[in-house]
Amino acid sequence: MAGFQSLPGFREFYPEDFSRRQHIFRHWRKNASAFGFQEYDAPVLEPLELYKAKSGDEIEGQLFNFTDKGGRDVALRPEMTPTVCRLVGAKAGALKRPIKWFSIGEFYRYERAQKGRLRAFHQFNADIFGEPGPEAEIELIALLIQCLAGFGLTKDDFYVRLSDRDLWFFYLAALGFNDTQVPGILAAIDRFEKMGDDAFKGYAEAHGVLVPELKEKILAFLQIKTLPELETALAPCLTDKISQRIGEWRKVIAGLSAMGLGEFISVDLGVVRGLAYYTGFVFEAFDRKGDLRALAGGGRYNDLIKKLGYADLPAVGFAIGDVTTGLLLEQRGLTPTFVNAPDIYAVLGGEAERQAAFADIHALRAAGWRVDYPLKDVAFGKQFKTAAESGAKLALIYGGDELAKGVVKLRNMSDRTEQEIPRDQVLSVVRDFLSGR
């Protein structure tokens, strides 16, 4: 095989692919800005330590890490969350509240490449810092929905599964589990969808067999699909904490429903999220058909900034991936067609005409119009063919006869009509033509 190939799980973006990617980024950026989020960026290479024990075992095992020439242990970022916590933590006192930030960047995880999963992918991250209440969740989940719905996807295409690690902690405590057992149960719940009963094997090895009656209660909790069902399930073990939590659930659901987004939300306690730092509400977006891996994931992580050595600042956020989003848009026929047409094609008689045309070509480009012309001398007929094939709206013809008369011929490419315009009026006539006046 000739030459070199890219590494497995890394993508190359030829112009057509790149324009699709830009289409996705453009929508994300537009929606984030409409929601009042500010854009930031940060390094792709970070100290390894930032992810150790912060992101969780799964991500730690997927790190692209190495020792640099200065002997530092470093890793390509697998996610943005620890980094953005550092940024916000370092300036927390000086930042105006609410702190609503977003970014678009590339991330790296040494995963087994499969449909929707690569080793280099992009994420749109949006996070709110300093807001302890569920108002922040409403804002973020609404943004997440809009970031997908903005492409033309509807409630029949995707939905957001809303869950709560706090409620699991409170419920498992009420069932009699202690703090050392709870993480094992949550890990089993995380795996349950994929592995079924085998998911509980790890827990059994560490803590002994799970009493069937308790297991049934856990599995029943997993079946809950609505807020009233959740309230009923919790009624027998109501504590102050659980009552308060239910109040917060009501607020989130009511807020999103008031925005007209209720039908995108599904109560689903099967989502507990693999990342180690989540503390409260957690959520994931999926396609309705269930063909694809998660489109997005996020939740509250109130302790992470403090764990990194900064202030005690509550935080909540999510990330959408570009790979599954792109696949879903393709499946639904919502990928934009690749348009690569100039506004104007300049047809040039010969070298003298080329020189004469350059002043106009440059002035038109400087005014923001996209202008193409042949880089080499080509017969007139061929140039007209190229102009037609390019999709240009108009052609400017710089022939010897025209220049001798001090004019340029403007051809409307859609109806083939032509008019002569004085050389010194090219810019204004083209502007009027292209802006439809």
Between 9 and 374, CB nearer to ligand HAM: 9
Between 235 and 334, CB nearer to ligand HAM: 334
Contact pick of 210, 295, 397, 408 for ligand HAM (by CB under 6 A): 295
Q: Does 324 bind ligand HAM (CB under 6 A)?
A: yes
Other Cβ atoms closer than 10 A to 436: 5
Joined together, the tokens standing for residue 54 give 């912060």
Q: Does 163 bind ligand HAM (CB under 6 A)?
A: no
CB–CB of 283/141 below 8 Å? yes
Is cis: bond before 132, omega within 30 of 0?
no
Contact pick of 52, 117, 251, 365 for ligand HAM (by CB under 6 A): 117
Contact pick of 168, 318, 369, 373 for ligand HAM (by CB under 6 A): 318
Q: Each residue of 200-231: b (16+ CB within 10 Å) or e?
A: beebeeeeeebeeeebebbeebeebeebeebb
| Whole-angstrom distance, CA of residue 387 vs CA of residue 418 | 14
Q: Does 109 bind ligand HAM (CB under 6 A)?
A: yes
Contact pick of 32, 99, 189, 294 for ligand HAM (by CB under 6 A): 294
DSSP state letters, 168-216: HHHHHHHTT--TTTHHHHHHHHHHHHHHGGGGGHHHHHHH-PPPHHHHH
- Each residue 217-256 as x (binds ligand HAM by CB under 6 A) or -, in order, gives ----------------------------------------
Q: Does 298 bind ligand HAM (CB under 6 A)?
A: yes
- Count of residues near ligand HAM by CB under 6 A: 23
Q: Does 319 bind ligand HAM (CB under 6 A)?
A: yes
* Residue 334: DSSP 8-state: -
Shortest distance (Å) from residue 66 CB to ligand HAM: 19
Between 79 and 343, CB nearer to ligand HAM: 79
CB–CB of 371/343 below 8 Å? yes
Q: Using CB under 6 A, which of the segments 35-43, 118-126, 338-346, 388-396 binds ligand HAM? A: 118-126
Look at residue 287 and give its three-state secondary structure: strand
